A and B are shown apart, each in its own frame.
Chain A
Amino acid sequence: MKCENCGKRDATVHLTEIKKGAKQEIHLCEPCASEKGLPGKAHFSISDLLAGITSASQSKKGGREKDVQCPTCELTLSQFQSSGRFGCPDCYTTFKDDILPLVEKIHDSSQHVGKVPNRVSAEVTLQKDLRNLQVELKRTVKREDYEKAAQIRDQIRILEEKLKGAVAAEPPAPPAKAKPKKSGESGKKGGA
């Protein structure tokens, strides 16, 4: 069926309009429909878009022979391409090389800057504190200040215990008590 407006392209948008009580079927092509302010099929499915982009990024690399598969959920990359849906959180790690360019294309970014779950932000803070203490420990050992080094080592042990706790289970760990007096940046994470 040809578009009723231009008569050239095939009609893909079909509308039923009621004008003064009379039902009227209208058949338009997409350009004419959008000219008339009708949304029509203007947005195509997200999975179409995804499949297209992924295969494009893949073909640039010269096509890979083996289909990558996620060890956790057994989803393969080609399955993802056709469905646009991942099988589990681990897919993001498994398919990292292929999906980062895709994510970049969709969002124009590949770094999260928004909310961080409390549990994780406590952990992230602890990890940062731990790294700082380890640096300080090395420094004190170098200075041969062994008394101080022993103190720091104890603090590190406490933090490591806490970190284990924070990773293993809730509730989110409160800010580390045995904080170093002056640990450069205190690793504030912009939550909320």
Chain B
Amino acid sequence: MIFNELLKTSGEWLKGAGPDHEIVISSRVRLARNLQGFRFITKMDADERKRCEDLIRKRILESGVVPETRYVELMDAEALDRKLLVERHLISKEHEDARHPRGVAIGSGEALSVMINEEDHIRLQVLQSGFQLRDAHRLANEIDTKLEEGLDFAFSPQLGYLTACPTNVGTGMRVSVMLHLPALVITRHIEKVFQAVSKINLAVRGLYGEGTEASGHFYQISNQVTLGKTEDEIATNVEQVIPTIVNYEKRAREDLMGKDRLRLEDRIWRAYGMLQAARIMSSDESMMMLSFVRMGVHLGLLPQLKIETVNDLFLYSQPAHLQKLSHAAMDPSERDIKRAEYIRGKLNGKK
């Protein structure tokens, strides 16, 4: 069903399109909302959680805000399917792990997802390919307005939208941009980016958000402040810093190409060779190697390789995707063998 359908495509945001897509992987806007008259998740009993989920699901479906909505009841979903959704950035790790009535509505193209009963009753997310923060924000705002026509959101004139955690109160908005910064890591300038970014109150996170590692040289830049600024100001704060980081990464790439070209080519071709030939490959290793290869394609060093292939490999080489593709549950060492085999197949021209 839905999971097999998802498996067929790599999702709108990973298609490697959109402004500055070489470095800006995706733009995301998330809004947190809660229903008035319900307690927050940690204080709800199973019955209240169910009622809350039903109410919101009904509203999403009847409002038609999520085009071609597919609703996944996570209590009933298999563990592997839930992990698949995490790997596709459609739900959070916390949402995957929880054990109470909860769900997610997924829109066509996977640009849109609404998590129900995560940390807040509603976590609405718009995720788009490339640097398109404004678009993502506009869309998220529209959907929120439509949902609100039939739902009573907890709101205070002073503190804005009330959320389970005070770090989200106010606009409830988290804006984040995912960047691919291998050259800044190689040239060891990445720390400067962290420092500059944290000075203006933005946060840097890993591939899967809060507390995750920057696997594959992917970093997410996001706002921390959600109160006392308008949604536009928050988006602008993040938006403004991105071109600087993008240019910094571009310069680092040029630098490597100029001064250290042979060494860089060696690194990229070794990574490519490894991916083409290895028999056992861990997830960390493949992420790292794919990262170098991705940069290589954008620098024109690997003309035979399409960027879509590389982008797809980032996704499909992850644990849940691999297992779904092979229709079997596998332990980590089996996965490492399967991963190597899968990547080899894709890079050596097997369709």
Residues of A within 8 A of B (CB): 16, 18, 20-21, 34-39, 42-43, 45-46, 50, 72-75, 83-89, 92, 99, 102-103, 106-120, 124, 170-172, 190, 192
Interface of A is mostly: loop
**Known A43-B211, A170-B150, A192-B145; 20 more pairs at CB < 8 Å:** A18-B285, A37-B184, A42-B194, A46-B167, A72-B39, A73-B43, A83-B42, A84-B166, A86-B162, A86-B166, A89-B34, A103-B159, A106-B225, A107-B225, A112-B156, A112-B160, A113-B230, A114-B231, A117-B148, A119-B148
Q: How far is the CB of B230 from chain A (nearest CB, A)?
A: 5
In chain A, what residue has the closest Cβ to B285? Answer: A18
In chain A, what residue has the closest Cβ to B204? Answer: A39
A112 and B158 contacting across the interface, CB-CB below 8 Å: yes
Q: How far is the CB of A5 from chain B (nearest CB, A)?
A: 13
Question: Is B255 interfacial (CB 8 A cutoff)?
Answer: no
Stretch at the interface among B6-14, B83-91, B108-116, B185-193: B185-193
Give the docked Cα–Cα distance between A107 and B228 (Å). 7
Give the docked Cα–Cα distance between A57 and B170 (Å). 21
Give the docked Cα–Cα distance between A172 and B145 (Å). 12
B284 and A112 contacting across the interface, CB-CB below 8 Å: no
A192 is contacted by which of B141, B205, B270 (Cβ under 8 Å)? B141
A85 / chain B contacts, CB cutoff of 8 Å: 40, 42, 119, 164-165
In chain B, what residue has the closest Cβ to A49? Answer: B167
B43 is contacted by which of A35, A46, A87 (Cβ under 8 Å)? A87
User: Interface size on B (CB < 8 Å)?
Assistant: 64
In chain B, what residue has the closest Cβ to A192? Answer: B141
Question: Is B236 interfacial (CB 8 A cutoff)?
Answer: no
B165 and A84 contacting across the interface, CB-CB below 8 Å: yes
Residue-wise interface mask of B (135-164) relative to A, using a CB-CB cutoff of 8 A (1 in contact, 0 not) = 000000100110011101111111111101
B145 and A112 contacting across the interface, CB-CB below 8 Å: no
User: Known: A37-B185, A39-B204, A46-B167. Is A112-B148 also a contact (CB below 8 A)?
Assistant: no
A89 and B162 contacting across the interface, CB-CB below 8 Å: yes
B148 / chain A contacts, CB cutoff of 8 Å: 117-119
B204 and A109 contacting across the interface, CB-CB below 8 Å: no
Residues of B within 8 A of A (CB): 34, 36, 38-40, 42-43, 119, 141, 144-145, 148-150, 152-162, 164-167, 169-171, 173, 184-185, 188-191, 194, 203-206, 210-211, 213-214, 224-231, 234, 270, 274, 278, 282, 284-285, 288
Give the docked Cα–Cα distance between A34 and B40 (Å). 36
A107 and B36 contacting across the interface, CB-CB below 8 Å: no
A118 / chain B contacts, CB cutoff of 8 Å: 145, 148-149
Q: How far is the CB of B18 from chain A (nearest CB, A)?
A: 25
B155 and A116 contacting across the interface, CB-CB below 8 Å: yes
Q: How far is the CB of A142 from chain B (nearest CB, A)?
A: 31
B34 / chain A contacts, CB cutoff of 8 Å: 89
A110 / chain B contacts, CB cutoff of 8 Å: 158-159, 227-228
Give the docked Cα–Cα distance between A55 and B285 (Å). 43
B214 and A39 contacting across the interface, CB-CB below 8 Å: yes
B170 / chain A contacts, CB cutoff of 8 Å: 107, 109, 112, 114
B231 and A86 contacting across the interface, CB-CB below 8 Å: no
Q: How far is the CB of A55 from chain B (nearest CB, A)?
A: 15
User: Known: A108-B228, A118-B149. Is A86-B40 also a contact (CB below 8 A)?
Assistant: yes
User: Known: A113-B229, A113-B230, A114-B160. Is A88-B167 also a contact (CB below 8 A)?
Assistant: no
In chain B, what residue has the closest Cβ to A87? Answer: B43
User: Known: A36-B188, A106-B166, A106-B167. Is A73-B40 also a contact (CB below 8 A)?
Assistant: yes
Q: How far is the CB of A57 from chain B (nearest CB, A)?
A: 13
B190 / chain A contacts, CB cutoff of 8 Å: 37
Q: How far is the CB of A24 from chain B (nearest CB, A)?
A: 11
A86 and B229 contacting across the interface, CB-CB below 8 Å: no
B166 and A50 contacting across the interface, CB-CB below 8 Å: yes
B157 / chain A contacts, CB cutoff of 8 Å: 112, 116, 120, 124
In chain A, what residue has the closest Cβ to B160? Answer: A112
Give the docked Cα–Cα distance between A72 and B278 (Å). 59
A16 and B284 contacting across the interface, CB-CB below 8 Å: yes
A103 / chain B contacts, CB cutoff of 8 Å: 159, 166, 169, 227
6 A–B contact pairs at CB < 8 A?
Answer: A46-B210, A85-B165, A92-B162, A102-B166, A110-B227, A170-B150
User: Known: A20-B270, A115-B231, A119-B148. Is A86-B225 also a contact (CB below 8 A)?
Assistant: no
B284 and A18 contacting across the interface, CB-CB below 8 Å: yes
Give the docked Cα–Cα distance between A80 and B339 (Å). 44
A109 and B228 contacting across the interface, CB-CB below 8 Å: yes
